[in-house]
Structure 1
Amino acid sequence: MSIAIENFVKAIYKNGKRDKNDTKPGSIAKELGISSAAATDMAQKLAAKDILHYEKYQALKLTEKGRKIALNVVRKHRLWESFLFKTFDMSLHDIHREAELLEHQTSNFLADKISAYLGNPKFDPHGDPIPNANGEITTTDTSIMLSNAKESKTYVISRLMSDDKEFFDFCSQHGLKFGNTVLVSKQFSKNKMTQILINNNTIILNEDFTSIIYVNKNE
């Protein structure tokens, strides 16, 4: 399977999991930095191979075959992120960048070895679930966007859904990490901002941040 195909089906899978659920060829093209014409051409070729369903002007949908390909790539990516984070204490941005390269060069055999070495983790350092060797995600996602969290309630950070360096640098500086606890002290709904308390520090975040930071209730 070529790198281009792996990246294409992975982009469809990931976009389909986001709140906007936008998997139209133009959106996938933007995600991958290619032209809309190139995305449409790829979609038609993959439809002929039963990897996805393609209809003109409609969202792309992976077949079961395509979903397995996507989850296999996602598994390798997130295992490499977990390995690099644990072994070298690399930043969240750096592990993502390196995993983007390594995921395509990794055999299923090596992926299984990495998983076993790490203790078969269920989540990567961003809080994203890691599929098992059968291409299954065995965890249940009950997280919500920080922007939807209730005032005066305590939450645990469950996912940081970004690959932007400045975002991760900010999160690192302020203790916004997977597994850390935050208190939502105020929701400014009109201005789309959220005030939180973390590590005894008060921070106000705008919607650009609160829409990609996911949390679970602190039971």
Structure 2
Amino acid sequence: MSIAIENFVKAIYKNGKRDNNDTKPGNIAKKLGISNAAATDMAQKLASKDLLHYEKYQALKLTDKGNKMALNVVRKHRLWESLLFKLFDMSLHDIHREAELLEHQTSDLLANKISEYLGNPKFDPHGDPIPNANGEITTTDTSIALSQTSEGKKYMISRLMSDDKEFFEFCAQHGLKFGNTLFVSKQFNKNKMTQILINNNTILLNEDFTSIIYVNESN
């Protein structure tokens, strides 16, 4: 399959997992930086290949075949991110950018070798689950957005759901990384802001950040 097709099914899969669950062609077009017409054409093409279900003006839904393809690409992407992070201590933005290129050139054999070398990890450095060789995600996601947390409680960062360079630079500067613990000291619900304490520093975050930082309650 072409890189364009793999990116298209991956975009549908990833958008479908987000809170807005918006997989209409226009939203996929925006995600991939292509025109709405190009996205519609691609959707119709992939529907004919039994990779997705297409209905005019409706959200796109992957078939079992399309979902398997998407998970295979996601697996390779997240394994490369894990390897690059381990070997070279690259930034979260840089490992994402490089993995975007490498995922399409990786055989199933190489992906399995990378997984074995890393000890078959279940999560990448962003906290995203890594599908196994059968295209299955064996972990259960119980995390919630930081914006939905309660005041006066401790949480562990479980996912950083972004590919934005500035976001990752901010997170690196303030210790906001997968596995770290923070304390929610105040929720400003009217202004949609959250005040946290991490590494003895108080930080006030707006909804642009708190909606893509996911956490689990910590003891």
TM-score by length of 1: 1.00
2-structure distance, mates of 1:48, 1:25? 16
2:55 counterpart SS class:
coil
Instruction: Report what 1:156 is aligned to.
Output: 156
1-structure distance, mates of 2:105, 2:87? 19
2-structure distance, mates of 1:24, 1:130? 25
Structure 1 residue runs of 4 or more that deviate by more than 2 Å after TM superposition: none
One-letter amino acid matched to 1:127: G
One-letter amino acid matched to 1:86: K
Instruction: Report what 2:18 is aligned to.
Output: 18
Instruction: Report what 2:102 is aligned to.
Output: 102
May I ask how many residue pairs the two structures share in their alignment?
219
Instruction: Report what 1:60 is aligned to.
Output: 60
2:171 counterpart SS class:
helix
Instruction: Report what 2:206 is aligned to.
Output: 206
Q: Tell me by how many angstroms 1:188 deviates.
A: 0.3
Any stretches of 5+ residues in structure 2 without a counterpart? none
2:121 counterpart SS class:
coil
2-structure distance, mates of 1:69, 1:2? 12
2-structure distance, mates of 1:191, 1:171? 21
Is 1:215–2:215 an aligned residue pair? yes
Instruction: Report what 1:74 is aligned to.
Output: 74
One-letter amino acid matched to 2:64: E
2:154 counterpart SS class:
strand
| 1:100-179 correspondence to structure 2 within 5 Å | 100-179=100-179
Instruction: Report what 2:9 is aligned to.
Output: 9
Cα RMSD between the aligned structures? 0.4
One-letter amino acid matched to 1:119: G
Identity of aligned residues (%): 86
Q: Tell me by how many angstroms 1:22 deviates.
A: 0.2
1-structure distance, mates of 2:32, 2:122? 27
1-structure distance, mates of 2:24, 2:155? 34
2:140 counterpart SS class:
coil
Any stretches of 5+ residues in structure 1 without a counterpart? none
1-structure distance, mates of 2:5, 2:45? 10
Q: Tell me by how many angstroms 1:166 deviates.
A: 0.5
1:137 counterpart SS class:
coil
Q: Tell me by how many angstroms 1:9 deviates.
A: 0.0
1-structure distance, mates of 2:199, 2:182? 8
2-structure distance, mates of 1:217, 1:122? 20
Please give the per-residue CA displacement for 1:136-185, whole angstroms capped at 9, x wherever unaligned: 00000000000000000100000000011110000000000000000000
One-letter amino acid matched to 2:182: V
Q: Tell me by how many angstroms 1:48 deviates.
A: 0.6
One-letter amino acid matched to 2:41: D
